[in-house]
Chains A and B, each alone.
Chain A
Amino acid sequence: MRTVTAAAAVLVLALLPVAAPWLQFVLTLAIAKGFAALGVAVLLRAGLISIGHAMFYAASAYGVAFLARAGVNDLGLLLILSVLGGALVGAVAGLFLVRYRAIFFAMLNLAVSMVFYALCAKLYGVTGGTDGMPVPVPAVFGVVLGEPAFKSVLFYLSLGLMVLIGLAVQRYLNSPLGHALAAVHTNEIRLEYLGIPVWAVLLIAYVISAALAGLGGAIAGFAIGRVVPDFAFWTASGHLVLIAVLGGIGGVPGAFIGALFLELLHSAAVTVTDSWNLIVGVTLIIVIMFMPQGVYGLLARKEAASL
C-alpha cells in the first residue's frame, strides 16, 4: 500500500511540470533542498542538530562551478565529483565536529559555516565574492542541450535520484548502522559498552549527510545557473533544519514532503510579503511545539520518530 502511495506521488510530481511548466524550477529546487534536509534529518536521528549544513550545500555548488571553470563539461561527472567534494569537506569538518553534542555541535556547525561563508564572500579573486560564480549548462552524455531542454533533463534526473537515493538512505537507516544513530540519541554510553564505536557511527552519518547536502547544492547550482555565498548563509541552514523538522525525521519521504511544502509556500508567499524568515520562524516554533513528528509523522504513525 505504501509503495503504491509513494509511486503515485512520484508520478504526480513527474507529470506536474507538463501541466504547469513554471512549476518545473520550483520542484527541482524543492528536490534539491529535500536532499539537503534529508542530510540534516539523518543527524537529527542521533539527536544532533546542525545549523550549518548549508555549508556543504554551497561547497558542492561551488565545486561544480570550479570544475566547470577548469573545463569539466559533463553533467554526470560534475555531479559525482562535486558530491565527492561535499563529502570530503564533510569528512574533514566531521572529524572535528562529531566529538561534540547538543549545543556545542549545533553552534560549532554554525561557526564553521559562517567562516566558510565569510571566506566565499571575501576571497573575491577566487570565488567572485558576493557576485558568485556562473554554472554553465553542461553536456549530458556528450549531447549538448539548449537551456530549456537541460532544465527538463535536470528535473527528471533529480526525480530519479530522489527515488534511488531515497531508497538507499532508507536501507541505511534500517541497517544496524542506521539504528545505532537512534541509539546514540537514547543512550550513548550503553552503545559504547556494547562495543559499538559511537565516534565511527557518527562520522559515517556526518559524511553521508554532507554528501546528501552536497548533492542538493549541486542540483540547485545547475537549476539556478549561479552560485553565490548566500547558499552557505545561516538562514539557508535554518531553512534546511525547518524542512527536516516540518517534514518529520521518521522516514526518508519526510524531508521531501517538507521541502515541497515549503517551496510551494514560498512561491505563494513572495507575492504577498517579503518577511519570509518571519514565516519560517513562526512555522518552526509551531511545528516543534505542536507536531514534533512532522507532516510525515501524521501520515505514517507507526515508524514516526520525534525530536
Chain B
Amino acid sequence: MLNAVIPLLLDSLASAALIFFAAVGLTLVFSVLRVLNVAHGSLYSIGGYVAASICLFIASRQLNPYWSFLALLFSAVCVAAIFGPLIERGLIRWTYGKSEAVQILITFGLFLILEDLQRVIFGVQSFYEDAPMRLLGTTSIGGVVYLNYQILLIGMAFLIVIGLRLLINHTRLGRLITAVVTDREMAQSIGIDTNRIFILAFSLGVFLAALGGALATPTSGIAPGLGADTMVLAFAVAAIGGLGQIEGAALASLIVGLARVLAIYLAPSLDAVAPYAAMLVVLLIRPYGLFGSVAARRI
C-alpha cells in the first residue's frame, strides 16, 4: 500500500511545484495591481525559450555544463528586467481604474502579440534542452527511480512560498506592498510612490513566470502554444486558491497536481481535463476560491 502511495505523492508534489511556478506570479500581480494579466502565460514561455537558448549556447561552446543552472536564473532575471517595466509602464498602467473588460482585452491583445513574436523569433519547432536535468542524476526511493531535478523543483517551490512570505511580512518593500494592496488611495496620500510599487510588483510577477518557464523547460521541453496552456492552467490554480492569495495558490497547486497525477494513473486521456474539473468543483462550492473572500482581497 505504502509503496503505491509514496510514488504517487512524490509525482504529485513534483507536478504541483511546476504548476505553482506558473500560477504564483499571476496571483501576486493580481493582488497588487488588481489586473489579471492574460499575457502571463506568454511571459512563462518566453522565460523557457530564453533559458533553453542560453543552455544550448552553453552546450555548443562546451562550457562547464553547471553554468546552465545559473543560466536558468539569469534568463528569468533578464526577461523580468526587460518586459516587466516595459509592459507595466507602456500598457497596463493605462488600464488602472478602467473596467475589467478593458483590462482583459488589453492584456489579451498583448498576449496575441507576444505569442506571434515568439513564433517569429524562436520558430515553430519545439526546443528540448535537458542538460540541467541529466547533470543531477537520479535517486531511488522505495525502488522507484526519481530525477533529482524534480526534487530540486519541489524544494524551489517551498523556497518561493517562504521567500515571498518573508518579503511581504518582514521587509520595507513588503510593508509598502501590503499598504498599497490594502488601500491604494490611502497609501498614495501618505506618500507611498505607488507607481514604483506597481513596477516592482509586476516585474516580480514576470520574474516568477519566466523562472517557472525556465525551470520547466528541462523536464518538458517547450513548444508553440505553451503560453496559452500555461495561462489557462495558471488561472485555474489562482482561481481555486482565491485570486491574489499566495498560500492559496500553493494549496491549489497541490490539489491540481494530485488531480493530474491521479488522472494519469487512472485515466490517461483525461490528463488535460483534470485541472479544470478540479476548478469547476471548487468554484461551484466556493465561487471565490479556497482562500478568497468577497469583500477584501489580501496578499
Contacts and interface: CB of A to CB of B under 8 A. Distances in A.
A84 interface: no
Contact of A107 (B117, B239, B272): B239
A241 B25 CA distance: 26
Nearest to B119: A275
B111 A281 contact: yes
Given A107-B36, A111-B236, A49 B272 contact: no
Of the candidates A103, A122, A245, A288, the one having the most CB atoms from chain B within 10 angstroms of its own CB is A103
A49 B104 contact: yes
B94 interface: yes
Contact of B273 (A51, A118, A238, A241): A118
B287 A288 contact: no
A112 to B, nearest CB: 7
B108 A241 contact: yes
Contacts of A292: 102
**Interface SS majority for chain A:** helix
B281 to A, nearest CB: 11
A106 interface: yes
Given A119-B273, A234-B228, A277-B115, A288 B106 contact: yes
A284 B273 contact: no
A101 to B, nearest CB: 8
B232 A110 contact: yes
Of the candidates A44, A104, A122, the one having the most CB atoms from chain B within 10 angstroms of its own CB is A104
Contact of B108 (A102, A238, A278): A238
Contacts of B108: 51, 238, 241, 281, 284
Given A47-B99, A245-B105, A115 B112 contact: no
Interface residues of B, number: 38
A238 B112 contact: yes
A182 to B, nearest CB: 13
Contacts of A196: none
Contact of B104 (A106, A108, A112): A106
B116 A289 contact: no
A276 B120 CA distance: 11
Contacts of A278: 112-113, 116-117, 120
Interface residues of A, number: 41
Nearest to B238: A107
A283 B110 CA distance: 10
Interface string A231-261: 0001100100100010000000000000000
A94 to B, nearest CB: 14
Interface in B224-241: 228-229, 232, 235-236, 239
A48 B110 CA distance: 20
B279 interface: yes
Given A104-B239, A278-B113, A111 B232 contact: yes
A276 B112 CA distance: 9
Contact of B113 (A103, A115, A282): A282
A49 B232 contact: no
Contact of A277 (B102, B105, B112, B239): B112
Nearest to B273: A115
Nearest to A282: B113
B105 A112 contact: no
Contacts of B273: 115, 118-119
Nearest to B243: A103
Given A103-B36, A112-B276, A275-B120, A281 B112 contact: yes
Given A44-B101, A103-B36, A115-B273, A280 B94 contact: no
B60 interface: no
A107 B117 CA distance: 23
A291 interface: no
Interface of A: 44, 47-49, 51, 96, 99-100, 102-104, 106-108, 110-112, 114-115, 118-119, 122, 234-235, 238, 241, 245, 275-278, 280-285, 288-289, 292, 307
Given A103-B36, A106-B104, A111-B276, 12 more contacts: A51-B38, A96-B280, A99-B287, A100-B287, A111-B232, A115-B272, A115-B273, A119-B273, A122-B269, A238-B112, A277-B115, A288-B106
13 contacts: A47-B99, A49-B105, A51-B104, A51-B108, A103-B36, A107-B232, A111-B276, A114-B232, A115-B272, A234-B232, A235-B112, A275-B120, A307-B101
Interface of B: 36, 38, 91, 94, 99-102, 104-106, 108-113, 115-117, 119-120, 228-229, 232, 235-236, 239, 243, 269, 272-273, 276, 279-280, 283-284, 287
